[in-house]
Amino acid sequence: MSEQRPRRGQELLLDPLRTKGTAFSQDERREHGMLGLLPAAVKTIADQCEHTYHEFSTRHNDLDRHIYLRALQDRNETLFYRLLLDNIAEMLPIVYTPTVGEACQRFGEIYRRPRGLFVSYPDREHLREVLRNRRAEEVDVIVVTDGQRILGLGDQGIGGMGIPIGKLSLYTLIGGIAPARTLPIVLDVGTDNADLLNDPYYLGWRHERISDDEYYAFVDEFVTVVREELPDVLLQWEDFATAHALPLLTRYRDEMLTFNDDIQGTAAVAVGALHGAAQVAGRPLAQQQVVMFGAGSAGIGVLQMIRQEMVAQGLSDAEAALRIWAIDINGLLTDDRTDLSAAQRRFAQPAERVTGWGGRQLADVIQHVDVGILLGLSTAAGAFTEEIVRALAAKTDSPIIFPLSNPTSRAEAHPQQIADWSDGRALVATGSPFPPVQVGGHTRKVAQCNNVYIFPAIGLAVTAVRATRVTDNMMRAAAMTLGEASPALVDRGLPLLPDYEDLPEITTRIATAVALQAVRDGVAPEPAGADLAALVERTRWTPDYPG
């Protein structure tokens, strides 16, 4: 851990959290023992931004731009975040998805300087020492991965470290978590990626993944040490394999401040967009019939939150269940099926409701039910055919159609097709980024359900009010507040989700709602007379050099 004594000279100049580089004034240079260590010119942070933006622009491809920005982050964090803040829409996809995927795949090749903690199975007897070697004593947010299911790229071993680093950059940029108080961690438990095991540049433990028994014991030991060393920290799980993700969340979520963004963040952003869309359509969620095409981990997670929201809007749980139609590769989930998991069974329709239908596929559900919302989390590219979209558009003025599968090539339909087949009436949000669509001579941006709308706000909220848990209600509060911020509510030609440039401001609003919910749920102390919005605002770190 870094010692607290004030740094001087070279040490201060090279400390990425405290340096100003060429922006140290002449007085500061004299005061801190830096005379002669810098060229004569004294720059402002604005000058530095202009310079670094120019450098950034001369890089030839997105990976080079990513490498440039990561190097800047390691050199001068304040400047890195100022540059990002001034260019959010352009740089977010470089620092995070999609470019970070390639950075993970080529982690060993592009590795320059260490960042965060590599918690390796061979060090399992020394996990406390590993944790104590972190760079700062106080930490607000940890993002941890084991690299097994990185984006859509599968097992990347410790290359997965790119994700916690990138994601924590967004916790800071958008959620205002101080960079010194973030900690990226990769659990190095081996890799089953044969290419990596044979790659001379691979930097992780060259070993196949450990067995499940060893794995859960190791994670348990890790979590125990984290809780002892950093009892107030938010521990966010990221990109774990489906088989481990839910068991880990279930095991720890009632014992500590933790959430899984792939499961809970994804559901919140999709339900947020849906809440906005339902309002634009003039028919709240609780009055809609919802079809989920794809009943895997993502689909079921989204449906759980939809059901909770329908109940919050006044339905009984049983009434809500009857409004939800889930379909998997074998057709509609019904209670006479024997192949359903426990989680899926909660969304099975009574078989008698569909007797006499002739079939139990998507087209049958659209034909027989007054469907207003069609969501896709199936990986089945093109499943939302012209026939399906036209049938849905014939039932309602404002069909809500979200092809959410990633990557782009897996989307259930292209937004332009949905616009064409619905005469531009459909309200659309996607999982992957798509170019704007043309509707009646107008260009319309398409909302992308990116988790960045949610997780920085969760981090900011729990940090501001010192919450001890992340409850379902807090995630739902985030979703609803995001939905209320939908630009389409002002003008239905606008996208269902806000522009990235507006993220910091909207995140403050979402964080305030989440903080309030934490207090209501009894997982955060009532703030002493303070206005929660002001408390959240005060908690935000901003990228300015100290005066």
Residues known to be catalytic: 96, 167
Residue whose CB is less far from ligand NAI, 33 or 152: 152
Among residues 173, 273, 404, 460, the one that binds ligand NAI under rule CB under 6 A = 404
Task: Tell me if 298 contacts ligand NAI by CB under 6 A.
Answer: yes
- Measured distance CA(185)–CA(323) in Å, rounded: 41
380 binds ligand NAI (CB under 6 A): yes
| Minimum distance of ligand NAI from residue 270's CB (angstroms) | 7
Contact flag: residue 377 with ligand NAI (CB under 6 A) = yes
d(CA 389, CA 75): 51
Task: Identify whether the C-beta of residue 77 lies closer than 8 Å to the C-beta of residue 50.
Answer: no
Query: Which range touches ligand NAI (CB under 6 A), out of 124-132, 292-300, 488-496, 516-524?
Result: 292-300
Q: Are 186 and 147 in contact (CB under 8 A)?
A: yes
Question: Minimum distance between the CB of residue 104 and ligand NAI, rounded to whole angstroms?
Answer: 16
Nearer of residues 91 and 333 to ligand NAI, judged by Cβ: 333
Q: Which stretch binds ligand NAI (CB under 6 A): 71-79, 86-94, 324-332, 501-509?
A: 324-332
Tokens coding 299: 């689909």
Q: Are 391 and 363 in contact (CB under 8 A)?
A: yes
Q: Which stretch binds ligand NAI (CB under 6 A): 36-44, 275-283, 291-299, 313-321?
A: 291-299
Whether the CB-CB separation of 246 and 149 falls below 8 Å is answered with no
Complex with ligand NAI: residue 24 or 455, whichever CB lies closer: 455
Site size toward ligand NAI, by CB under 6 A: 25
CB of 341 to ligand NAI, least distance (A): 10
Under rule CB under 6 A, residue 267 binds ligand NAI: no
Nearer to ligand NAI, 433 or 493 (CB): 433
Q: What angle do CA 191, 194, 197 make, to 5 degrees?
A: 65
417 versus 430: smaller Cβ distance to ligand NAI: 430
Q: Record the tokens describing residue 5, joined without a space.
A: 């004594």
Tokens representing 100? 């970070």
Tell me: does residue 328 bind ligand NAI (CB under 6 A).
yes
Give 275 or 410: the residue with its C-beta nearer to ligand NAI.
410
Stated as kind and residue range, the H or E segment containing 120 is strand 117-120
On whether the CB atoms of residues 85 and 504 are closer than 8 A, the answer is: yes
Rule CB under 6 A: which of 228-247 touch ligand NAI?
A: 242
Among 189, 248, 295, 478, binds ligand NAI (CB under 6 A): 295
- Binding of ligand NAI by 296 (CB under 6 A): yes
Shortest reach from residue 156's CB to ligand NAI, in Å: 16
Judged by CB under 6 A, does residue 410 bind ligand NAI?
yes
User: Directed axis angle between helix 242-252 and helix 297-312, to 10°?
Assistant: 40
Minimal distance, residue 429 CB to ligand NAI, in Å: 9
Contact between 148 and ligand NAI per CB under 6 A: no
Give the orientation angle of helix 62-75 with respect to helix 45-58, to 10 degrees.
Answer: 150
Q: Does 379 bind ligand NAI (CB under 6 A)?
A: yes
Q: How far is the CB of 331 from ligand NAI (least distance, A)?
A: 8
Would you give the distance in Å from CA 166 to the centre of its chain?
Answer: 11
| Residue 304 makes contact with ligand NAI by CB under 6 A | no
Interface positions, 419-458, toward ligand NAI (CB under 6 A) = 431, 449
- Residue carrying structure tokens 């290359």: 159
**Residue 145's closest CA among 71, 78, 236?**
236
Q: Taking CB under 6 A as the criterion, which residues in 17-76 touch ligand NAI? A: none
Residue with tokens 């044979």: 198
Measured from the CB atom, the residue of 304 and 406 that comes closer to ligand NAI is 406
Rounded to 10°, the helix 77-86/62-75 angle is 140
Q: Which strands form 258-260's sheet, in the order they lie side by side?
A: 117-120, 182-188, 141-145, 234-237, 258-260
Contact 113, 205 (CB under 8 A): no
CA distance 156 to 146: 9
403 sits near ligand NAI (criterion: CB under 6 A): no
Asked whether 271 and 479 are in contact (CB, 8 A), the reply is: yes
The total of other beta-carbon atoms located within 10 Å of residue 211's CB is 10
Q: Which positions lie near ligand NAI, rule CB under 6 A?
A: 152, 242, 262, 266, 293-299, 327-329, 377-380, 383, 404-406, 410, 431, 449
